[in-house]
């Protein structure tokens, strides 16, 4: 039976970023991933965006704490830049101007590059926009696209090069505590032993806790749909920023000359291999046709992914309060890619008993914000 210092369950971006930093800290690590492709679930289905002004406070801080890694990854991590320029334009309908102003003010105060746009200026950048429905817009020029594959596989490659083991097609079916360690059993019967279990199972985080006899923290996976839409041949979309409505009912971004469109749905669901619903695809098309001049005759390929949240919307990266060798790394919601370098480094540092990395303390990141005992996990915010 294989023994490792750390057994990580889940080979998505959360599990692999933690695995990389733990291996770097000298730990022997085995990652157990049910699928044959470790990015098969949420990690491979994201919109791949990086914005330091997006999401709740702890997410914004973790995104900022990830920036240096993205810009200057370790030698040999990836051949191509992980971040490339994109920008985000947020559009406000009549009546939403004050809310947009507040975002502009806060973003600028935090150092983000925000440009206020009139509807006409917006149309110059994204000519398909229907400006009748727009009162104002704000352009965050330094939002970036993330090469998710390069990031995820950079972690995997470097992890393996440091002696780490990633086992795919490894469906964890039972987890038991014996003495001072854990035995993790796969559905095909193999067993792995480790001193610490890291729960990085995404939408399945509560299921893994239950298997380990640990009280679930209450994670809710929420379905989000994306549909590819062709543009008329005379529309040159290359270089457009992502456009998102402030009321979070639609966003679209140019992708190889087509549009990736999402109705920004947040439908609670069970953890599973989620697929898009016909109704959500129809809603996506309807909203795009209302917001723009695009006539959709036939949608292109579509997919759905799970964004998993705890009740207060913030992630947990901490040892379980009752089971001190069971570490939670879950609830990254819609921000798990843009926060992965910092979340992985933070988890590894806490697991190794080294406390919060200094560059994160300087940003005001506290243990409490990511703890498994914070009251808001039960009450919500």
- Give residues in contact with ligand FAD (CB under 6 A): 9-15, 32-35, 38, 40-43, 45-49, 170-172, 200-204, 224, 226, 305-307, 332-338
**Residue placing its CB nearer to ligand FAD in the complex, 7 or 235:** 7
CA-nearest of 214, 178, 207, 160 to 30 is 160
306 CB contacts (<8 Å, ≥6 apart)? 41, 42, 202, 203, 221, 222, 223, 224, 269, 271, 274
* Separation between Cα atoms, residue 193 and residue 321, nearest integer Å: 22
* Separation between Cα atoms, residue 376 and residue 380, nearest integer Å: 5
The backbone torsions φ and ψ at residue 123, rounded to the nearest 5 degrees and listed phi first, read -65, -30
Q: How far is the CB of 335 from ligand FAD (least distance, A)?
A: 4
Q: How far is the CB of 118 from ligand FAD (least distance, A)?
A: 27
* Separation between Cα atoms, residue 229 and residue 176, nearest integer Å: 48
**Residue placing its CB nearer to ligand FAD in the complex, 196 or 226:** 226
Q: How far is the CB of 254 from ligand FAD (least distance, A)?
A: 14
**Integer angstrom CA distances of residue 122 from 115, 136, 286:** 11, 9, 21
3-state secondary structure of 246: coil
Q: How far is the CB of 56 from ligand FAD (least distance, A)?
A: 13
**Residue placing its CB nearer to ligand FAD in the complex, 136 or 197:** 197
**Residue placing its CB nearer to ligand FAD in the complex, 226 or 351:** 226
Q: If 0-12 CB within 10 Å is exposed, 13-18 middle and 19+ buried, where does residue 26 land? A: exposed
CA-nearest of 117, 78, 81, 123 to 97 is 117
CA-nearest of 185, 214, 210 to 2 is 185
Q: How far is the CB of 154 from ligand FAD (least distance, A)?
A: 15
The backbone torsions φ and ψ at residue 234, rounded to the nearest 5 degrees and listed phi first, read -85, 0
**Residue placing its CB nearer to ligand FAD in the complex, 136 or 261:** 261
Q: How far is the CB of 36 from ligand FAD (least distance, A)?
A: 10
Q: How far is the CB of 131 from ligand FAD (least distance, A)?
A: 26
Tell me 292's DSSP state. Answer: B
**Residue placing its CB nearer to ligand FAD in the complex, 46 or 91:** 46
> Which helix (H) or strand (E) segment is 273 a member of?
none
**Residue placing its CB nearer to ligand FAD in the complex, 38 or 357:** 38
**Residue placing its CB nearer to ligand FAD in the complex, 202 or 235:** 202
Pull the structure tokens for residue 101. Answer: 């102003």
Pull the structure tokens for residue 170. Answer: 């490894």
Q: How far is the CB of 189 from ligand FAD (least distance, A)?
A: 14
3-state secondary structure of 79: coil
**Residue placing its CB nearer to ligand FAD in the complex, 136 or 203:** 203
Q: How far is the CB of 122 from ligand FAD (least distance, A)?
A: 21
Tell me 132's DSSP state. Answer: G
């Amino acid at each position: 039976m294989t023994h490792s210092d750390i057994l990580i369950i889940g080979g998505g971006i959360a599990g692999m970023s933690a695995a990389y930093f733990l291996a770097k800290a000298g730990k022997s690590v085995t990652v157990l991933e049910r699928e044959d492709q470790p990015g098969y679930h949420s990690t491979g289905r994201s919109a791949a965006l990086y914005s330091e002004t997006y999401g709740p406070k702890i997410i914004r801080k973790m995104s900022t704490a990830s920036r240096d890694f993205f810009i200057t990854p370790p030698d040999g991590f990836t051949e191509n830049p992980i971040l490339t320029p994109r920008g985000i334009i947020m559009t406000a309908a009549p009546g939403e101007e004050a809310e947009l102003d507040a975002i502009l003010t806060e973003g600028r105060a935090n150092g983000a590059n925000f440009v206020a746009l009139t509807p006409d200026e917006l149309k110059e950048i994204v000519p398909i926009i229907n400006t009748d429905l727009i009162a104002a817009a704000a352009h965050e020029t330094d939002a970036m696209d993330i090469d998710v594959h390069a990031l995820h596989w950079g972690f995997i490659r470097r992890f393996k090069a440091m002696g780490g083991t990633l086992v795919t097609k490894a469906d964890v079916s039972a987890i038991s505590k014996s003495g001072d360690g854990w035995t993790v059993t796969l559905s095909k019967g193999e067993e792995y032993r480790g001193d610490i279990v890291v729960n990085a199972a995404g939408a399945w985080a509560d299921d893994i806790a239950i298997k380990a006899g640990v009280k679930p923290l209450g994670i809710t996976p929420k379905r989000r749909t994306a549909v590819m839409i062709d543009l008329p041949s005379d529309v040159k979309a290359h270089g457009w920023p992502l456009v998102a409505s402030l009321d979070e009912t639609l966003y679209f971004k140019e992708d190889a000359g087509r549009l990736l469109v999402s109705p920004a749905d947040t439908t609670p669901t069970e953890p599973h291999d989620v697929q898009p619903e016909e109704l959500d695809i129809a809603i996506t098309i309807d909203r795009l046709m209302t917001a723009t001049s695009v006539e959709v005759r036939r949608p292109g390929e579509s997919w759905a992914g799970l964004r998993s949240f705890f009740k207060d919307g913030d992630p947990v990266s901490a040892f379980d309060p009752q089971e001190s060798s069971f570490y939670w790394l879950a609830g990254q919601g819609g921000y798990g890619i843009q926060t992965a370098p910092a979340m992985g480094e933070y988890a590894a540092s806490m697991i190794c008993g080294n406390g919060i990395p200094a560059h994160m303390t300087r940003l005001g990141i506290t243990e409490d914000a990511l703890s498994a005992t914070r009251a808001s996990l039960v009450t919500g915010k």
